[in-house]
Amino acid sequence: MSRLTPISFASSDIDAIASAPGRVAIIVTPDGKMDKAARRANRLTKGAVARLLASDGFATGEPAGQTRVITMAWPAGMAAEALDVLVLERRTSVIEARRAGAALAKVKGDKALLVMAGGMSRAEDLALGLILRDYRFEAHKTAPDTEVGGVTIHHTKADELSLDTVRAIADGVVMTRDLVNEPANVLTTTEFADRLVEMQTLGLTVEVLDEARLEELGMRTLLCVGQGSDSPSKVVVMMWNGGADGDAPLALIGKGVVFDTGGISLKPPAGMEDMTMDMGGAGVVAGTMRTLAMRGAKANVVGLVGLVENMPSSNAVRPGDVVRSMKGDTVEVVNTDAEGRLVLCDVMWYAQERFKPAGMIDLATLTGAIIVGLGHENAGVFSNDDTLCKAFLKAADAEGEGAWRMPLGSGGSAYDDLLKSRIADMKNLGGRAAGSITAAQFLLRFVQDGMPWIHLDIAGVASVKGETPLAPKGATGWGVMALNRLVADMFERG
């Protein structure tokens, strides 16, 4: 797994500013007020910090009055190569503190960094933002590894701060990013399953269901997606039993299409290389389970991922084929590129039959339609349960992970009419109109009566072309923090 930036807290020592190597960061407010450490840096640099704060550039710089970093190179009177002036309000929110950490990470490079945080609130969130933005996926680069300098955060109450939860969250997010960023020739279904099995060392119980077992269970819609590939289809079950005996678990279910050509309904070649991220839902489930285990969550949670590869071959499922799901419903496959719902529906049914969960959340890079509707700022949220849905939206908002509730029809709605098949119980595609909604309507048919359920369409947020506030371009790890908070808010005891 990609390395986490080495980071630690230490008691404040303003004398360290003069001799610290690499980079030193101080904090000033948007109106130019300096704390004790900033005043020491100002004296060492013979007033350079004060001159910066009095300059027109500081007052009018973009974004004026907001969190930003201004770098002073080779400051006189200091051993450091750079003095980074972090502009931040004294009282800051969780989101703003994380973005402040990310702003420092963007200028940090490979150098050691000393952050003079004084008595700032949310220092742990600053640390988390710094770690997440300093992520680099370099597993397949042949250049010699560059040693990355660590980060030390000096704080007046360092002995009261802890990085345990920070590292647990960061570890889960980084695992998700690594999985989503991996090329498909590396992250095969077998390799994916093996990486999940390794998490048994964290206290998770992990089972791998092979094709023979899936056939016995009747997971024919899932199996039909992978039948054109040499990579064997698998379902991996990860169980975290941190709650009370007998408490029904929360079930997290992820689509894990390690590569999606579209099958016989072949995708256009332009951009097909991005389909290595079509296992993003499974990646989020894996990362969330890692975080829950690392922080010892006092809740019962089960994560299930369906791992397949969608390839065209003489044995691939064809448009017009009819397959029977584990539930027993028949599905006419009118488009083999609408494969994610075929994977999810069987895993969802299995999760309900085996675990009788207290609630169920599935995640999938499911439709391009959700990107048309919401862009890359928000995941689409579909739910049959207001209580669970509101709790998730609250958690996502608290973590700064964009999510927007979308409409969902009741049984027999006009959306359901779009899924009617002449020869089977339903089609796997309802056409271009309301594509993300009809995909959710398809999945709703596999939700048992009374089961609280959320479907998260993360096609627009799992991997992006540009950087986000807490991530460089590529995989974002979206969802790990929101789901971790949802578990803490709604399912943990004590």
Catalytic residues: 267, 341
Instruction: Please give the torsion angle defined by the CA atoms of residues 425, 426, 428 and 434, in that order, rounded to the nearest 10 degrees.
Output: -160
Instruction: Please give the torsion angle defined by the CA atoms of residues 180, 185, 191 and 192, in that order, rounded to the nearest 10 degrees.
Output: 20
Give Cα separations from 409 to 222, 360, 395, 440, 457 (angstroms). 25, 18, 24, 9, 16
The percent helix, strand, coil of the chain (3-state, each to 5) is: 35, 20, 40
H or E element at residue 189: helix 189-197
Q: Is 474 left (phi over 0), alpha (psi -120 to 50) or beta?
A: left
* Closest residue by Cα to residue 428 from 311, 277, 323: 323
Give the chain's length.
494
CB 341 within 8 A of CB 366: yes
Using only C-alpha atoms, the chain has a radius of gyration, in whole angstroms, of: 25
Q: What angle do CA 394, 168, 143 make, to 5 degrees?
A: 115
CB 482 within 8 A of CB 183: no
For residues 75 and 42, what is the distance between their CA atoms, to the nearest angstrom?
10
The secondary structure of residue 471, as a DSSP letter, is: B
For residues 419 and 413, what is the distance between their CA atoms, to the nearest angstrom?
10
Cis peptide bond upstream of 63, omega within 30: yes
For residues 393 and 389, what is the distance between their CA atoms, to the nearest angstrom?
6
The secondary structure of residue 135, as a DSSP letter, is: -
The CB density around residue 142, as the number of other CB atoms within 10 Å, is 5
For residues 351 and 217, what is the distance between their CA atoms, to the nearest angstrom?
12
